Structure 1
């Protein structure tokens, strides 16, 4: 009886092992087939991209270049016309660049009067086939602020909406965000009613630096995706998939900013120029821009003295330097206060170090979060 039972047990074990091996073999076969199908699909997409000329894209800002490249993949050929390390506020394209833009399929620019040369480009490419794409089209904007105004009400209700429609309800007439631009606001005087911009690189009533807000950056990326899909409808599904991957990263970045805002003990940053207004709107991070909205606006001695006094009165111990903006004025303020220096990246353009390190939009924003964590916690 014992031998019979033992034999039965052994036979059962052998049978189960055989079944397990067969199941494993089936799973391996299925996995191999799935991997083969995926590889075949990717190969087909690559071959399709190779079979047609890429969409040639010219951009004016690093984030726009990055979004277009990530969404377009092998279907696009993207170049940012602003050189590495340049000041995007004051850049003017050369005659050769104007010709290259006219010969491109898409010219993607930020808008909101950020690029002072947009009208010149429009005139130069008139009658050509290049499509002018405004990345800020249809996105809710905020009124710009040069910095801290003691009369300004900063009691904001930061309601972070994380749904997929990225809805922003920004009523420019809302008293909670009534940005006064008088002499009390560190003396920056801009004539916003001058219709003749004459390439003075001054901004209008609205803040153009929306790419620094993850939610609005996602909307810019969506505008770019739509433009690419119109240029090459056959690749629209690929563009959509690539955009969805970006969208996940934007949402994760937004969550990190929300976490920072919920744990910060200080809410004011002093920066070279006031390009970070959307962080106040979304996360309650207030800014004091030494040079106003554009770094080309050199502050007066009185404005610098007011900045120094404000930092001392509010116990602000850090000054933020930016990657493409001259340091002399910011360094003067830092020395007078005895503050520490930190690096904040405005993402307008890369510098050589960024190129060498193969930085991305998200890696640079992660670095900004580290800087803000140091300054505000």
Structure 2
């Protein structure tokens, strides 16, 4: 994992490359200045420009925006977003955005980026802001990376909080509502369209919630082992218990005693499936599975789609349904 010093130097270098002529003075972004942006866009025939961070924020925004906005996702397909940092091109996109959507916590680079790419007319929404966040599990790996991260954590990052609210279909509805409000704020002329689109997508999320609730109600076991601690909100919503091998960072390797603890738990509970994810090397999950004679299956934290998932036209709803089927199978063994 990158060290804090490396991240700081890299971000400083990117910031220095932003747009020449960008004022050094930081301007506070206010709702009062949003409407003129939308009006100017309409007069010029340009669509509202919505810039988002990683996949769930992109998908939620796209569903709400419909035909009335251009929605851009900064984190590329197949890239794990926890350690991603914006390039000079990404910073230029951010500066030009009418609306900027991010989840919160995952994107530690956001506060400095907003300051560097200042835009007084931009509407910014932290989609998880209205959600009561849970304390997350931070594991210190065998190299001490967890401790180092804690000591050098960015002053703007809320320490110890779990960001993975989008994996709970109920909490995802709150994120959709927050994004809808931001689009309406920036472009009140299309309020009815944004509201209609958001309501339609929330209805799909409610159907997804019903599927999870009925599908997981009578499973044989309630605990499941995951490679990284991304599923606490989902587990809490449906009466399950997540047993993570690693903490909130998907790239951190757990300490040997943590590995031994999980292996002991798996043997005692006769666990037959260890879940891993698509964008991170599954070697840790595979090691434990081999040790206990279990198999591995994908439980996707939806931090980004793979090329294969895009090729198969999978989206948030489709991947979550696959997650449900994987959980049902694993919890009924």
Tell me how far apart the structure 1 counterparts of residues 98 and 81 of structure 2 sit (CA, whole Å): 22
The Cα of 1:285 is off from its aligned counterpart by: 1.6
Number of equivalences = 290
Question: Equivalent residue of 1:363, what SS?
Answer: helix
Tell me how far apart the structure 2 counterparts of residues 284 and 202 of structure 1 sit (CA, whole Å): 29
Tell me how far apart the structure 1 counterparts of residues 55 and 323 of structure 2 sit (CA, whole Å): 16
Question: Equivalent residue of 1:108, what SS?
Answer: strand
Tell me how far apart the structure 1 counterparts of residues 169 and 150 of structure 2 sit (CA, whole Å): 30
Tell me how far apart the structure 1 counterparts of residues 100 and 178 of structure 2 sit (CA, whole Å): 13
In structure 2, list runs of 5 or more residues that go unmatched.
1-40
Q: Which residue of 1 aligns with 2:71?
A: 78
**Residue 138 of structure 1: which of 113, 117, 130 is its match?**
130
**Residue 114 of structure 1: which of 100, 103, 106 is its match?**
106
In structure 1, list runs of 5 or more residues that go unmatched.
1-47, 147-180
Q: Which residue of 2 aligns with 1:239?
A: 194
Seen in structure 2, the aligned counterparts of structure 1 residues 190 and 246 have a Cα distance that, compared at 3 Å, is: farther
Question: Equivalent residue of 1:89, what SS?
Answer: helix
Q: Deviations over 1:89-125 (max 9, x none)?
A: 11111122111111111111101x2112112212212
- Contact kept, 8 Å, 1:103 with 1:128, in 2: the verdict is no
The Cα of 1:365 is off from its aligned counterpart by: 0.6
What TM-score, normalized to structure 2? 0.81
**Residue 115 of structure 2: which of 110, 123, 126 is its match?**
123
Q: Which residue of 1 aligns with 2:172?
A: 217
Seen in structure 2, the aligned counterparts of structure 1 residues 105 and 317 have a Cα distance that, compared at 3 Å, is: same
Q: Which residue of 1 aligns with 2:21?
A: none
What TM-score, normalized to structure 1? 0.71
- Contact kept, 8 Å, 1:145 with 1:277, in 2: the verdict is no
RMSD across aligned C-alpha pairs, in angstroms? 2.6
Tell me how far apart the structure 2 counterparts of residues 358 and 336 of structure 1 sit (CA, whole Å): 36
Question: Equivalent residue of 2:280, what SS?
Answer: coil
Q: Deviations over 1:212-243 (max 9, x none)?
A: 11111011001111111111111100111111
